[in-house]
Structure 1
């Protein structure tokens, strides 16, 4: 399974939290990025934080790491964690982890003193960083193996936010690829070849232009310029569809949705001609989405872990 615990972006969005994706294999959870609201959405989805085996960071923009402290805390006290939380990522992940560990050091000590070692064991508070680098001339690398699950990191292009990576998960003949933040890149297409599901970031430049113009008219000049700047390091829905087509994937879910889509009528303009470019199943991801990949087939089944009703 793959659960969407954050399908939004740094732009405030009432419907979507900051980026967070969770791959679930045999009651073990591997979280990709942990943006703000990740813990809250995780709880709404009735997922168990004590089942989180590791967090895999794609890069170090604030919207991808802003919820890491809360995720770590909830995992620690949920069932008296036996180990610190593993946080994998490209070079620089140790700086993020060390910063969070220092920021939460006093809080952790208070909780151990108050609740005791049986609930908040001091030795397992916090995180441990596991940085990785690609070998010379390579753009991908296996970074974790666990009981038949193989997780491969691959290089993407989110410059000037470097290094930046995506991840591929392979288990019993099924495969999921999470792009992280990127433009269309050959390294992603190569890494995603034949995957059952590609979860790709997507920004509609046309819709964002309207937000930028409104911001400028309202006098928010800096905000307007930021909205201009971000267009050049995210894929559009059309480019995400091209990547899915060129990688021969089975299905595509678009996440890191920019700009917010407060009404369903905006989904068509957001997608543009993406459905003509990629003719397989294509969805705009929502917080709470669950994509299930039964072993032995090629189907990808979509449902919601929120109790608010069926998916539209």
Structure 2
């Protein structure tokens, strides 16, 4: 074999090894995609709260706010590949996209298995009434479109605080948080291959959440900006009530400083018109660590490093 041939073979082997090492590294990551970072106001750049978490061979949605299925389409994740949905609580902005993800995911992608759902008490009641509401459509699709009957089913699991799911190395733990008067409301911790992600859900400062998030790779936390309410002309009393169910940037900074995640990130931004200038300075009063303000379609790869990939553009 000539020297040139040896060089070609060596380069090929090196490329193959690099490819497989990279693939192996990716298989040990948790990949988090912010599908929607907003709240009830219907704006185009921040859809309703929804987060896609991919770990190992599992894909889960955490909440299904307005536009979740459209965002999944943008990132080319097949609706039928979702292994299940976890609800933090049952406020409308967190669940209004569920019928779309459930029924469109069944009809268009021909999902042929029940959709698994986990959530607080009340989840089974909500799901059963949704099935009643769409009974006519479901019967029609099965008879006329020959959509698989199993795919129209929803298997709902009402959970308490603690481990809610554990399979194939992926563990999802529900964390009781403080979103009173909503009771209970959950955050979630996802563990896989030594990596960890905590999603706060809607909450005030929560000691349970802080304990669960200590030293995690990624802490995704909600936030409410008083400045955004003032700009919108919302009366002070109404603002006080709404902000009182969430955390301000200053309070979030306290949480981050105690938990010390490798990366702290804001999502479920209240109001969705709030900017980084509204959120970051207040946070920095109490926390100097790594911080990102989330946006729709942002991807966070949690592996040996925590890598943030901002979308090149967000469809309007």
| Mapped partners of 2:92, 2:237: distance in 1 | 19
TM-score normalised according to structure 1 size = 0.86
Q: Distance in 2 between matches of 1:252 and 1:195?
A: 10
Is 1:94 aligned to residue 106 of structure 2?
Answer: no
Q: 2 CA distance for matches of 1:275 and 1:292? A: 24
Partners of 1:72 and 1:226 lie apart in 2 by: 34
Secondary structure at the counterpart of residue 100 of structure 2: helix
Measured against aligned partners, the alpha-carbon deviations of 1:138-159 in whole angstroms (never above 9, x if no partner) come to xx40000120011000100001
Aligned to 2:164: 143
- TM alignment of 1:124-273, pairs within 5 A: 124-133=151-160, 140-211=161-232, 214-215=233-234, 226-261=238-273, 266-273=275-282
Asked if residue 303 in structure 1 is aligned to residue 309 in structure 2, the reply is yes
Q: Residues 205-237 of structure 1, C-alpha deviation per residue, up to 9 Å, x if partnerless?
A: 2332332xx245xxxxxxx75444211110112
Q: Is the 8 A contact 1:31 1:55 kept in 2?
A: yes
Whole-Å separation in 2 of the counterparts to 1:288 and 1:189? 26
- Unaligned stretches of 5+ in structure 1? 134-139, 217-223
Report the equivalent of 1:284.
293
Aligned-partner Cα distance in 2 for 1:241–1:78: 43
- Which residue of 1 is the match for residue 68 of structure 2? 38
Q: Return 165-174 or 246-255, whichever deviates more.
A: 246-255
Q: Is the 8 A contact 2:175 2:212 kept in 1?
A: yes
Aligned residues: 284
Unaligned runs of 5+ in 2: 1-30
Query: Cα–Cα, structure 1 residues 307 and 77, in superposed 2: closer, same or farther, change >3 Å?
Result: farther
Equivalent residue number for residue 14 of structure 2? none
Task: Decide whether the 8 Å contact of 1:2 with 1:23 is kept in 2.
Answer: yes
Deviates more, 1:266-275 or 1:35-44: 266-275
CA contact (8 A) 1:207 1:270 kept: no
Deviates more, 1:143-152 or 1:271-280: 271-280
The answer to whether the 8 Å contact 2:78/2:109 transfers is: no
Counterpart Cα distance in 1 of 2:308 and 2:297: 10
